[in-house]
Amino acid sequence: MIIEREVQMVRSVLLLFALFNLGQLSAAEISPLADKPRWPTLERYQETITRDDFTRLLQNVYATRGYDDLIEINEDSARIVEDAAAQKFFTLQFAKETPRKLPAHYWRCIDKLQGASAKQPLSGLNVTLDPGHLGGRWAKMEERWFQVDDKPPVEEGELTWRVAKTLAPKLRALGAEVSFARRHDRPTTPLRPDDFREIAREVLAKTGVKEPRQNYETEDVDKDKSIRWQSELLFYRQSEIRYRAKRSEKSDVDRSQSFSCAGERFLPAGRDCPR
């Protein structure tokens, strides 16, 4: 059984994670498809963590290599850089004694889940299965595809979809409520590579490529300097993944499945993401 103090610490860890990562974003380029950090949402966490806990977790867990000038820890508060160029900061006030009760959140701690029977230990648990990557004609674009002679191609997106379809009934038999982040070999996002051509041009310009080529050849070593390649990357690496994440954000567990090719074998590389 997890006691309330331990739950409080877990929540404090999540707060630190949010603070440090938002601080990092202010010092580096944010993904062109990312939302801007919403700093006001952290106001509700004022006085919910002590200075000692904040410092210990920051130094021993989340920023073991240092945090440079992103976070300044004072006696009663921490000042986090929002925008270094504009000299904007977010100030988190520490709890002086007993931390204030944390606000409600959408995820459930393990001790809040319903009691489960031995036959259905996953009863009441919401699980999202995310078959990694894409299949069909999109697999080749992702470079998650290979073919030997004239045999049918091997597509990672198809393999992960088969695994998800096999796993779903087994999880349901154990009591879990199962949903899919992807149900077919097509993208889940409604956007396509051509929707990102202008953003791709801007990305290339920031890296010094002022007059990029439109297309690339399959074996082109400089294909990353073309608008087409960057557009495709924005499509499957960012837009598709972000769209799936929104589908699974209310799950208790997100099971993301992929495969790694080692020699002549495909090795499963699944990842469980408890909420």
212 shares its domain with 148: yes
Whole-Å CA distances, 60 to 45, 132, 244: 21, 32, 32
- Identify whether residues 182 and 130 lie together within a single domain: yes
* Domain boundary, last residue among 93, 108, 142: 93
Do residue 134 and residue 67 come from a single domain?
no
**Alpha-carbon distance 205 to 9, whole Å?**
44
User: Does residue 130 share a domain with residue 61?
Assistant: no
Question: Does residue 213 lie within any of the structural domains?
Answer: yes
Does 182 map to a domain? Answer: yes
- pLDDT in the model for residue 255: 78
In a domain, 154, yes or no: yes
102, part of any domain: no
Alpha-carbon span 90 to 242, nearest angstrom: 26
Residues 131 and 236 in one domain: yes
**Residue 239 shares a structural domain with residue 161:** yes
Domain boundary among 59, 93, 127: 93
Q: Is the same domain home to 141 and 268?
A: yes
Q: Are residues 59 and 149 in the same domain?
A: no
Same-domain check for residues 262 and 136: yes
Residue 52 and residue 173 share a domain: no
Q: Is residue 206 part of a domain?
A: yes
Look at the block and give the residue holding tokens 């002679």: 149
Its domain, for residue 50, covers 4-93
Choose the final residue of a domain: 24, 58, 93: 93
Cα separation, 183 vs 180, in Å, equals 6
**Per-residue pLDDT tens listing for the chain (275 residues):** 444 444 454 455 455 556 556 555 544 457 888 877 888 888 988 999 999 999 998 888 888 888 878 899 999 999 998 888 888 999 999 998 888 887 777 667 666 766 778 888 888 888 999 999 998 889 999 989 888 999 999 999 999 999 999 999 999 999 999 999 998 888 999 999 999 999 999 999 999 999 999 999 988 899 999 999 999 999 999 999 999 988 887 787 877 878 765 444 445 555 554 44
Is the same domain home to 169 and 269? yes
Asked if residue 98 is part of any domain, the answer here is: no
Is residue 252 included in any domain, yes or no? yes
- Asked whether residue 67 falls in the same domain as residue 128, the answer is no
The number of domains in the chain is 2
Please enumerate, as own/partner, the contacts of 150-157 that have beta carbons within 8 Å and a separation of 24 or more.
154/266, 155/185, 156/132, 156/258, 156/259, 156/266, 157/131, 157/132, 157/133, 157/185
Tell me if 111 is assigned to some domain: no
